[in-house]
Amino acid sequence: MNTKELLTEHRVWIRDQLDKSVNFWLKHGMDPVNGGVYTCLDREGKVYSTDKSVWMQGRCAWTFAALCATYGVKEEWLAASKSCLDFLEKYCINRAAGNRMYFTVTADGKPLRQRRYCFSEGFYAIANAEYYGVTGDKTCLERARAAYDLIWQLNQGLIQDPTGLGPKTIPETRSGRGLANPMIYLNITSVLRRVDKDQEQEAIYNERAAKCVEEIFKYHFKPELGCTLENVGPNGEFRGEVTEGRIVNPGHDIECSWFLMEDANRTGNKEQFDTARKIFDLAINAGWDKEYGGLLYFIDCLGNPPESYEHDMKLWWPHNEIMIASMMLYRDTGCEEYLEWFNKTLDYCKTYFADDAFGEWYGYLRRDGKPTMPAAKGSTFKGPFHLPRMLMMVDTMIGQILDRA
């Protein structure tokens, strides 16, 4: 089978999986009573917890708006996106704490938990931005910009966190930087820039994207250690004496690599693209399980025991990120090595993650590829986001490759 035939075959499977994923969440996840989405679903789609993840309200709203942007508006998709946006607006914002957002709420929207991290606000921002891009609703654009600015002020230390939660560790003892902040903000910036054509905003997006790239390369990318670190000191110091300082999340690094490549393609910065490519190469070669296949969840950069009990599990989302990044690299470099990584990961996902009996993918596998039992299709952290995002992006990229073949 030649490459064109192989990619065409892959694309059929990718589109089938997208259809199964979207229909699974529309059928089982949407809450017709309170609005929003339930994401704690078992293998068959039964709700096993009615508490709602605020991350997932934003991610789901983004996903269904992105489906409309990619394939054309379907009323069912647009309604699902709006249901989550309305739920977010009504229940998930702590108005008394500077519009910081909750982390979890009850089925009917009563607040349960607040976290110091800004990811709820980030997913709220991309959801509103994507919905604006599809509908032209300027209220959503204003909400997206406001959340985007709030995250920047918090991450850059320009304002005190109005929740009063403070940093995770006692700053007098230890402070530092986390990779998640600049990499996720870079992706948020990409989404907002794509739909927001205001020239003043464009300058802001460009400036902040460049700052995010600088932070990732300056502080977290450690070629001398052969990895990209999750946690470093304030000036990028390697903290090899503690487990937190040695932790590598290969899936996170691979996700970061395609965020960086996407931005490099926008600016035409070959050096940035090549460094992002190196991040991918290091992460996948260090993280791929040579015995059982699949990507390990955490590794220690010095080969010590990782602290997290789940370090050798296989989760759905890192494999989604491999498929995006490897296809992007193959599209942009033509290097067969990356098509091989894509093929290997797709085969693994076909074998272990995809569930053709009930649709969607298992979220959590043991190291040997067997689902944790009872098997879950969703959780507080897994909903309609990573998988449909990957399937949409890979479908689009394969189309681009086939069009020029």
Predicted local distance difference test score (pLDDT) of residue 166: 84
Is 294 a member of any domain? no
User: How do residues 357-403 score in pLDDT, each as one tens digit?
Assistant: 999 999 999 999 999 999 999 999 999 999 999 999 999 999 999 99
CA distance linking residue 68 with residue 349, whole number of Å:
26
The larger pLDDT score, comparing residue 237 to residue 172, is at: 237
Q: Which of 359, 370, 375 is nearest to 40 (CA)?
A: 375
For 312-348, b/e burial (b = at least 16 CB within 10 A) is bbbbbbbbbbbbbbbbbbbbeeeeeebbebbbbbbeb
Sequence-distant (≥ 6) Cβ neighbours of residue 386 within 8 angstroms: 316, 317, 320, 321
Is 67 a member of any domain? yes
Is 99 a member of any domain? yes
DSSP SS3 for 227: strand
Q: What amino acid occupies position 259?
A: F
Question: Over 80: is that where the pLDDT of 17 sits?
Answer: yes
Quote the DSSP letter at residue 383. Answer: S
Question: Over 80: is that where the pLDDT of 315 sits?
Answer: yes
Phi, psi of 250 (to 5 degrees): -55, -40
CA distance linking residue 153 with residue 148, whole number of Å:
9
When pLDDT is cut at 50, 70 and 90, the band that residue 251 belongs to is: very high
Is 111 a member of any domain? yes
Question: Over 80: is that where the pLDDT of 29 sits?
Answer: yes
Predicted local distance difference test score (pLDDT) of residue 170: 87
The CA distances from residue 225 to 222, 232, 290, in Å, are 5, 13, 20
Predicted local distance difference test score (pLDDT) of residue 211: 98
CB 43 within 8 A of CB 355: yes
Is 201 a member of any domain? no
Is 42 a member of any domain? yes
pTM score over 0.85: yes
Predicted local distance difference test score (pLDDT) of residue 236: 97
Predicted local distance difference test score (pLDDT) of residue 405: 75
- DSSP structure string for 67-96: HHHHH---HHHHHHHHHHHHHHHHHSEEGG
Q: Is 111 exposed, middle or buried (0-12, 13-18, 19+ CB in 10 A)?
A: middle
CATH number of the domain that residue 110 is part of? 1.50.10.20
Predicted local distance difference test score (pLDDT) of residue 156: 95
Question: Over 90: is that where the pLDDT of 1 sits?
Answer: no
Predicted local distance difference test score (pLDDT) of residue 49: 98
Predicted local distance difference test score (pLDDT) of residue 172: 85
Is 130 a member of any domain? yes
Angle at which helix 316-333 crosses helix 250-267, to 10 degrees, equals 30
Where in the sequence is the domain holding 107, given as residue range(s)? Answer: 34-166
What sign does the CA torsion over 370, 373, 376, 382 have? negative
Q: Which of 230, 367, 390 is nearest to 288 (CA)?
A: 367
What is the number of domains present in the chain?
1
Is 247 a member of any domain? no
Q: Mean pLDDT in the chain?
A: 97
Tokens 């600088």, residue located: 214
User: How do residues 34-46 score in pLDDT, each as one tens digit?
Assistant: 999 999 999 999 9
The larger pLDDT score, comparing residue 167 to residue 293, is at: 293
CB 353 within 8 A of CB 361: yes
Give the pairing type, strands 314-315 and 364-365: antiparallel
What six digits make up the tokens of 374?
Answer: 């009872």
Give the pairing type, strands 247-248 and 231-232: unpaired
Question: Over 90: is that where the pLDDT of 91 sits?
Answer: yes
Predicted local distance difference test score (pLDDT) of residue 395: 98
DSSP SS3 for 131: helix
User: How do residues 134-169 score in pLDDT, each as one tens digit?
Assistant: 999 999 999 999 999 999 999 999 999 999 988 888
